[in-house]
Structure 1
Amino acid sequence: MKFVISILGIVVVLLLAWLASSNRKKIKFKPIITMIVIQIISSLLLLNTEYGLIIITGISAFFGILLEYANEGVSFVFGGMANEGEAPFFLTVLLPIVFISVLIGILQHLKILPFFMRGIGFLLSKVNGMGKLESYNAVASLMVGQSEVFITLKKQLALIPKQRMYTLCASAMSTVSISIVGAYMTMLEPKYVVTALVLNLFGGFIIASIINPYEVEPSEDILEIQESEKQSFFEMLGEYILDGFKVAVIVGAMLIGFIALMAAINQLFELLFNISFQQLLGYLFAPIAIIMGIPLSEAVSAGGIMATKMVTNEFVAMLDLSGGSHHFSERTMGILSVFLVSFANFSSIGIITGAVKSLNEKQGNVVARFGLKLLYGATLVSILSGIIVSLIL
Structure 2
Amino acid sequence: MSVYALQSVAGLGVFCALAWLMSENRRAFPWRLVAVGLLLQFALALFLLKVPAARAVLFALNGVVEALSEATQAGTALVFGYMGGGPEPFEVTAPEHAFILGFQALPLVLVVSALSALFWHWRILAWVTRGFAWALEKTMRLGGAVGFGTAANVFLGMVEAPLLIRPYFEKLTRSELFMLMSVGLATVAGTVIVLYAAIVGPVIEGALGQIITASLISLPAAILMAQIMVPGDEVTETGRVEADLGYHSAMDAVTQGTAQGLALLLNIIAMLLVLTALVALVNIVLGTLPDAGGGPLTLQRVLGWFFAPLVWLMGVPAGESLIAGQLMGTKTVLNEFLAYLDFAKLPEDALSPRADMIMLYAMCGFANLGSVGIMIGGLTTLVPSRRQEIIGLSMKALVAGTLATSMTGAVIGILN
TM-score range, shorter chain: over 0.9
2:29 to 27, 31, 40: 27
2:148 to 112, 136, 139: 136
- Name 1:337's counterpart in structure 2: 360
1:308-339: CA deviation from partner (whole Å, max 9, x where unpaired): 11111001111111112571111111111111
Give matches, 1:247-326, under 5 Å: 247-274=264-291, 275-325=297-347
Local SS of the residue matching 2:153: helix
- Note the C-alpha offset of 1:152: 1.5
**Is 1:364 equivalent to 2:382 in the alignment?**
no
Q: Cα distance 1:206–1:262, how it changes in 2: closer, same or farther (>3 A)? A: same
What CA distance in whole angstroms lies between the structure 2 residues aligned with 1:166 and 1:186? Answer: 32
- Name 2:16's counterpart in structure 1: 14
The count of residues paired between Structure 1 and Structure 2 equals: 392
Local SS of the residue matching 2:103: helix
What CA distance in whole angstroms lies between the structure 1 residues aligned with 2:353 and 2:99? Answer: 25
Local SS of the residue matching 2:287: helix
Letter of the 1:231 partner, please give it. H
> Which is further off, 97-106 or 235-244?
235-244
- Name 1:47's counterpart in structure 2: 49
5+ residue gaps, structure 2, are 292-296
Bigger share in helix: 1
- Name 1:197's counterpart in structure 2: 215
- Note the C-alpha offset of 1:132: 2.4
Local SS of the residue matching 2:23: coil
1:208 to 221, 226, 233: 226
What CA distance in whole angstroms lies between the structure 1 residues aligned with 2:55 and 2:172? Answer: 41
What CA distance in whole angstroms lies between the structure 2 residues aligned with 1:196 and 1:123? Answer: 18
- Note the C-alpha offset of 1:224: 4.0
Local SS of the residue matching 1:25: coil
1:62-97: CA deviation from partner (whole Å, max 9, x where unpaired): 232222222221221112125653221123321011
RMSD over aligned Cα atoms? 1.9
Local SS of the residue matching 1:21: coil
Check conservation: 2:173, 2:234, Cα contact below 8 A: no
- Name 2:253's counterpart in structure 1: 236
5+ residue gaps, structure 1, are none
**Is 1:378 equivalent to 2:401 in the alignment?**
yes
What CA distance in whole angstroms lies between the structure 1 residues aligned with 2:108 and 2:350? Answer: 29
- Name 1:106's counterpart in structure 2: 118
Check conservation: 2:145, 2:237, Cα contact below 8 A: no
- Note the C-alpha offset of 1:230: 5.6
- Note the C-alpha offset of 1:290: 1.1
1:98-154: CA deviation from partner (whole Å, max 9, x where unpaired): 111111111222233223222220122111132222221121112121111122122
**Is 1:155 equivalent to 2:172 in the alignment?**
no
Q: Cα distance 1:38–1:228, how it changes in 2: closer, same or farther (>3 A)? A: closer
Check conservation: 1:156, 1:224, Cα contact below 8 A: no
What CA distance in whole angstroms lies between the structure 2 residues aligned with 1:22 and 1:277? Answer: 33
- Note the C-alpha offset of 1:175: 0.8
**TM-score scaled by structure 2?**
0.89
Check conservation: 1:130, 1:216, Cα contact below 8 A: no
- Note the C-alpha offset of 1:29: 1.7
Q: Cα distance 1:273–1:226, how it changes in 2: closer, same or farther (>3 A)? A: farther
What CA distance in whole angstroms lies between the structure 2 residues aligned with 1:305 and 1:228? Answer: 35
1:182 to 174, 183, 194: 194
What CA distance in whole angstroms lies between the structure 1 residues aligned with 2:377 and 2:169? Answer: 14
Q: Cα distance 1:230–1:199, how it changes in 2: closer, same or farther (>3 A)? A: closer
Give matches, 1:84-99, under 5 Å: 84=92, 85=95, 86-99=98-111
1:372-393: CA deviation from partner (whole Å, max 9, x where unpaired): 1010100100110111111112
Local SS of the residue matching 2:322: helix
